[in-house]
Structure 1
Amino acid sequence: MGIVEGLTEFLPVSSTGHMILTGHLLNFEGELASTFKVVIQLGAILAVLVLYWKRFWGLLKISPAALKRPGINIVHIFVAMIPFVIAGFTIYGYMKKHLFGPTPVLIGLVAGGILMIAADRFRRDVKAQTMDDITYKQAFGIGLFQCLAIWPGFSRSGSTISGGMLLGTSQKAAAEFTFLISVPVMFAASAYDLYKSREFLTTDDIPLFLAGLLSAFVVAKIAIVAFLNLIKRLRLSWFAYYRFALAVLFFVVLYL
């Protein structure tokens, strides 16, 4: 499960979808499994912090002069988080209760794939070649697209990269910005879920959780570097085709 989380968290293929489907196949479901999935997400978050620590350290240096200089600053991150935070507090609980299952995941995989193909076909002229070229308006728009990831199977990175491309960013710039904004969002969501699931945490489960967290951390570091290299050569549509194939495979396994 940790390997699956690390491989898929930052690829546009839906880590939540993969985790739900993998848990279903492994018969690892229920409250303990849900808490476990939250804990190992922290491993993936740590991978981003390690890889981008200089960038995050720079974001913490807030000053009027820093906010006026070209490049990404803390305001970009805050602006991109606003829509997701609002959506999270209003509909996330309902979505998690009623839609975190195999069938909604299959729907999300297909719908997210269609969005990615549309982003490839209808992308705007690139105005933001690098992450530092992204404007506040584009950051807010990417944050709106991130709200689609509340539906399991849609994919946070798939939604935000597609949104960035439709709003005029390069594929790589959108991917790197996705990594940055994922950290506060994922950390907040994980902390909230852990607080809600605190009664299911026991010291006996520590080895289980550590194994998942460490494997997710190591694999996520490798996956992020590999993805940034892949995205220079592969169009977003290739990941959409993978999602379609995965949806068909799991439909056959689960329902036929």
Structure 2
Amino acid sequence: MMILQPIILGIVEGLTEFLPVSSTGHLILAGALLGYDDTAWATFDIVIQLGAILAIVVLYWRTFWAVLMGLIARRPESIRFVRNILLAFLPAAVIGLALHKKIEALLSKPKLVCVALIVGGIAILVIEKLAKRQTIAGVADVPVKTTLGIGIVQCLAMIPGVSRSGATILGALSLGVERRTAAEFSFFLAIPTMLGATVVELAKKPAPLPPGVVHVGASEIAIGFLVSFLVALVVVKAFVGFVTKHGFGPFAWYRIIAGAGALAWLMMK
């Protein structure tokens, strides 16, 4: 059983899943920079995202419990909460299923990830500066039109390096949602999105690995899942407080620097 690789990738996933820096892009770059075979680690990369998702469930269990009790009591705010998450998930579900094979082909292109990181960083700086005044607070209070807009913007994250959380958070900001609500909307939207992606991945018939490529099994996935969960627990709590005070500019500069550095390294290989 391999130990170091799943620990490293679990840390990368936990650190980046909910930050606007692209967890998928970082996993692809980690594989390229460390010499991992992306074919062998494809299922691992998808499944360990559930570890990060579990961190959201643990951290926000009171919110989910309140929504569940509200649904049973038919409270309007709980119904709107669930409606908004499901509506925002719908565009990614439809487009993801329709373009699954084309999206999958992009996962083997680390240079594309680098370009997407740089362009996304610039987009964050522009949106932070030009976005209209954010007045919508509370996931349940996001209007239907805005919710669908966030869902459509999330589809941009099917390009590796764009960042699902980055697309949804910045999309929400540009549509008038305040920072904390934008971040939490992105967290909650990740649950059906990542669950759906994992189900699709596990339902596929695994492709035969090339000769000499080491098989990544359940033990490695379990290690990556646990590490991702523990790291995400710390990151999510700190992230919400950070962006509420400081905004998303530091993440934009990180994307630009990391993308440019990784691209330079790949070009010199």
TM, length-normalised to structure 1:
0.91
Partner secondary structure for residue 217 of structure 2 = helix
* Aligned-residue offset at 1:73: 1.8
Match of 1:49 among 42, 54, 57: 57
Query: Are residues 1:87 and 2:95 paired?
Result: yes
User: Could you say which residue in structure 2 is the equivalent of 1:211?
Assistant: 223
Amino acid in the other structure paired with 2:217 = D
**1:122 equivalenced with 2:130 (yes/no):** yes
Q: Give the equivalent residue in structure 1 for 2:81.
A: 73
- Report the AA paired with residue 264 of structure 2: V
Within the alignment, does 1:232 sit opposite 2:244 as a pair? Answer: yes
Is structure 2 residue 195 aligned with structure 1 residue 187? yes
Q: Does 1:157 align with 2:146?
A: no
Letter of the 1:222 counterpart? V
Local SS of the residue matching 2:255? helix
Distance 1:197 1:249, change over 3 A: farther
Provide the rounded CA distance (Å) in 2 between the counterparts of 1:144 and 1:180: 16
Equivalent-residue separation in structure 2 for 1:197 and 1:23 (angstroms): 22
| Distance of 2:228 and 2:47 partners within structure 1 | 10
Mapped to 2, the partners of 1:100 and 1:45 lie a distance apart of 24
- Change beyond 3 A, Cα 1:101–1:197: farther
Q: Is 1:22 equivalent to 2:30 in the alignment?
A: yes
Deviation at 1:231, TM superposition (A): 0.6
Partner residue, 2:204: 196
Q: Secondary structure at the match of 1:108?
A: helix
Q: Could you tell me how far apart the structure 1 residues matched to 2:147 and 2:166 are?
A: 15
SS, match of residue 231 in structure 1? helix
> Displacement of 1:134 after TM fit?
1.7
Q: Which residue of 103, 115, 118 corresponds with 1:110?
A: 118
Q: Which runs of 5+ in 2 are unaligned?
A: 1-8, 210-214
In the TM superposition, what whole-angstrom CA distance separates every residue of 1:83-122 from its partner, at most 9, and x where no partner exists? 1111111223202114542111012112222221222012
Given residue 250 of structure 1, which amino acid in structure 2 is its aligned partner?
A
| Partners of 1:12 and 1:239 within 8 A in 2 | yes
The Cα shift of 1:249 comes to 1.0
Structure 2 SS opposite 1:5: helix
User: 1:171 aligns to what?
Assistant: 179
RMSD between aligned residues: 2.3
* Closer, same or farther: CA 70–31 of 1 in aligned 2, 3 Å: closer
Note if contact 1:12-1:155 (Cα within 8 Å) is conserved in structure 2.
yes
| 2:28 and 2:110 in contact (8 A); partners too | yes
Q: What's the counterpart of residue 143 of structure 2?
A: 135
Question: Shift in Å at residue 238 of structure 1?
Answer: 1.9
Could you list the structure 1 runs, at least 4 aligned residues long, displaced by more than 4 angstroms after superposition: 197-201
Superposition deviation, residue 144 in structure 1: 1.0
Residue ranges of structure 1 left out of the alignment (5+ in a row): none
